[in-house]
Amino acid sequence: FCILQNVIVVLHESLPLQAMFICILSLPLFHTFISLLTLFLGDVRVRSRAGFETERRGSHPYIDFRIFHSNSEIEVSVSARNVRRLLSFQRYLRSSRFFRGITVPNSSNILDDDYNGQAKCMLEKVGNWNFDIFLFDRLTNGNSLVSLTFHLFNLHGLIEHFQLDTMKLRRFLVMVQEDYHSQNPYHNAVHAADVTQAMHCYLKEPKLSKSLTPWDVLLSLIAAATHDLDHPGVNQPFLIKTNHYLATLYKNTSVLENHHWRSAVGLLRESGLFAHMSLENRQLMESQIGDLILATDISQQNEYLSMFRSHLDRGDLCLENANHRHFILQMALKCADICNPCRTWELSKQWSEKVTEEFFHQGDIEKKYHLGVSPLCDRQTETIANIQIGFMTYLVEPLFGEWARFSNTRLSQTMLGHLGLNKASWKGVQREQSGSGDDVDPTFEEMDSDILPQEPRLS
């Protein structure tokens, strides 16, 4: 900008106006400027001639609560919408220093080597089920998703196998991390990093590790890292009853999961990470990542669990079959998505508090605008203990019980052990609060799949 301004000043002082414009238009610098302006300030929706249209980067499910007022009270301006579209450009500027390896001089950098050293030590035990993602996030200065996923790509040999450009990979991961909303108590980049770490643990299980191809591992890690991308911190019923544009776009079906998937594909295309692959392989990748992310829709829990149970009863799962492997990866991502109750109490309790905080925040909004409070979202009638006991009883235990049938390993038994201890701990809290040990919140048991919260979950 400054260089172009100086050139214009010089030309203006030495040439007539018409001649000045001709010179400016012929400058390579001017064309570079226009290209950059188009790239950064234009509509960054990524299009594909042969594929579907992705979600626009930065077009997160913005909840504008002014829509609850009458039209006479306020009008939503086009300019405000355009400002929201530029959010991705601002996130790009904030993150560009990171993926280019540029650091800002700061007196606190004296501690960097120490923190980086501790983070590297943690990554050496990234396959440990007791991995503390909260500590790792602090040690990486809030970059847990980028650092962990990049490490796993390298650990599994994906960078070499798929001939990935490491700068493009880092840029993609930074964009993914930036497109999670840090203000969400639960559905943020730390949760995505936690799910990715859990997915890595499952990929190491004997049945899977000896059967999975590099392609399977690649899809699994990308899907885990992006499975809640651009999450707004409210659930699908909230988007439906507020007539959000995403609910209309996806016809009230797996609204958030579809948005996560399409947003992930948009970032893959924008980063050019797999531009060197054939169009056919890129389209297959996008489709299969979608299959994995859509499987995390909690309203489809019973269908997936029933299919899983039927396969196990018949004993017909064959991991040499690509379709069977893909189904198992769907179940693995579902497990990783709601594995918080299967972690140690210290970790599980933190996740429980965070997800409940997000529930209650939605409930507060619903009360404020007289929308009707969603199940599990009323802080006046619900408690963390009640919510967690119901969640474990009706969602987590059935899923992980079947996973243990499929993969009866030390890890599976460890997860079930933590699950039992954590449930007992919450029952102890419940007894202290109610004076009775038999008050299990009936909400989970009574609600059907149409009412069950589809996103605010221990996902």
Write out pLDDT tens, residues 51-91: 556 665 554 455 655 545 444 444 434 443 443 333 444 44
User: Rounded to whole angstroms, how far apart are CA atoms 446 and 453?
Assistant: 13
CA end-to-end span of the chain, whole Å? 45
Same domain, 14 and 126: no
The amino acid at residue 147 is S
Q: Which residues contribute to the annotated binding site? A: 187-191, 227-228, 337, 388
The band of 339, judged by pLDDT with boundaries at 50, 70 and 90, is very high
Average pLDDT score over residue span 126-146: 98
The band of 162, judged by pLDDT with boundaries at 50, 70 and 90, is very high
The larger pLDDT score, comparing residue 155 to residue 66, is at 155
pLDDT of residue 435: 72
Same domain, 18 and 163: no
Determine, yes or no, domain membership for 59: no
pLDDT of 107 > 80? The answer is no
Same domain, 27 and 90: no
Please give the share of the chain, as a percent, with pLDDT higher than 70.
70
Same domain, 20 and 88: no
Determine, yes or no, domain membership for 37: no
Write out pLDDT tens, residues 144-153: 999 999 999 9
pLDDT of residue 76: 39
∠ at Cα 164 (160, 169), nearest 5°?
A: 125
Same domain, 20 and 96: no
Look up 187 and say whether it is catalytic: yes
Backbone angles phi, psi at 323, to 5 degrees: -65, -40
Our measurement of the distance from residue 172's CA atom to the centroid of its chain's CA atoms, rounded to an integer in Å, reads 13
Q: What is the CATH number of the domain that holds 154?
A: 1.10.1300.10
Q: How many domains does the chain have?
A: 2
Determine, yes or no, domain membership for 75: no
Determine, yes or no, domain membership for 374: yes
Same domain, 410 and 314: yes
Selecting among 156, 187, 311, 361, the annotated active-site residue is 187
Q: Which residues contribute to the annotated binding site for AMP? A: 187-191, 228, 337, 388
Same domain, 284 and 207: yes
pLDDT of residue 1: 53
Domain extent, residue 189, equals 83-100+112-446
The band of 47, judged by pLDDT with boundaries at 50, 70 and 90, is very low
pLDDT of residue 14: 58
Dmax of the chain from CA atoms? 90
Same domain, 126 and 12: no
Within 10 A of 420 (CB to CB), how many other CB atoms are there?
14
Q: Which residues contribute to the annotated binding site for Zn(2+)? A: 191, 227-228, 337
Determine, yes or no, domain membership for 78: no
pLDDT of residue 434: 83
Place of tokens 């006479």: 72
The band of 234, judged by pLDDT with boundaries at 50, 70 and 90, is very high
pLDDT of residue 116: 82
Determine, yes or no, domain membership for 131: yes
pTM (predicted TM-score): 0.78
Determine, yes or no, domain membership for 122: yes
Same domain, 122 and 11: no
Write out pLDDT tens, residues 172-187: 999 999 999 999 999 9
Same domain, 120 and 26: no
Residues in the chain: 459
Same domain, 138 and 207: yes
Same domain, 21 and 118: no
pLDDT of 459 > 90? The answer is no
Interior/surface letters 158-169, b for 16+ CB within 10 angstroms, e for the rest: beeebebbeebb
Pick the closest to residue 261 from 308, 297, 214 (CA basis): 297
Q: Mutual orientation of helices 384-391 and 345-368 as an angle, nearest 10°?
A: 110
Secondary structure class of 15 (helix, strand, coil): coil
Within 10 A of 254 (CB to CB), how many other CB atoms are there?
20
